[in-house]
Amino acid sequence: MENNSFDINVELNIETLQSGELTRTKIAEPGKFTQIGKSIYLRFNESLENDQVASILVKITEDGEIHLKRVAKENNVASLLYFTHHQHNNGHLETEYGTMPLDTFTKDSQVEIVSNPLSGKINIDYDLIYDNNVIGNYKFRLIFNA
């Protein structure tokens, strides 16, 4: 089993449209690129208010499914979302009050990774769904390089 790990720089831009309000989030952090077998993992942190951080893990499976895990320990919040091109997926949000099911519908997804020099981009356009209602439209744009 192959296990390659590299330091990378990550730039993540997220555009959120909720209740008619557009929000943009930009994250630029150092991270790690790891390949185990045919799966790829990107790990990095998101700086939050009050010197707190959320750890983010993006996994790309052999069949192209994308898993997005975000854990903010200080806030007792964790989410796990799944993205498969043109499909609905079940995920969840864990809070101190319990677990809330969140679904995604992936309108579009693209993954491009180049090995020499190591770089890549992951684009996901998706709807976030709670209780069969779309609660937001998201554009996730991640670029990384070694």
Task: Find the CATH number of the domain harbouring 33.
Answer: 2.40.128.20
**Any idea of the CA torsion for 102, 57, 106, 40, to the nearest 10 degrees?**
-140
137 exposure class (CB count in 10 Å sphere: 0-12, 13-18, 19+): middle
* Statement: residue 6 has pLDDT above 80: yes
Question: What is the average pLDDT score of the chain?
Answer: 94
Q: Model confidence over 97-116: pLDDT tens digits? A: 999 999 999 999 999 999 88
* Statement: residue 138 has pLDDT above 90: yes
Three-class DSSP category at 59: strand
End-to-end alpha carbon distance in the chain: 22
> If you search the block for the tokens 């439209």, which residue do you land on?
137
Question: Rounded CA gap, 25 and 46, in Å?
Answer: 10
Range of the domain at 98: 3-145
**What pLDDT shows up at residue 3?**
61
User: Above pLDDT 70, what percent of the chain?
Assistant: 98
* Statement: residue 1 has pLDDT above 60: no
Residue type at 82 in one-letter notation: Y
Q: Could you give the number of structural domains in the chain?
A: 1
Q: Model confidence over 43-67: pLDDT tens digits? A: 999 988 888 899 999 999 999 999 9
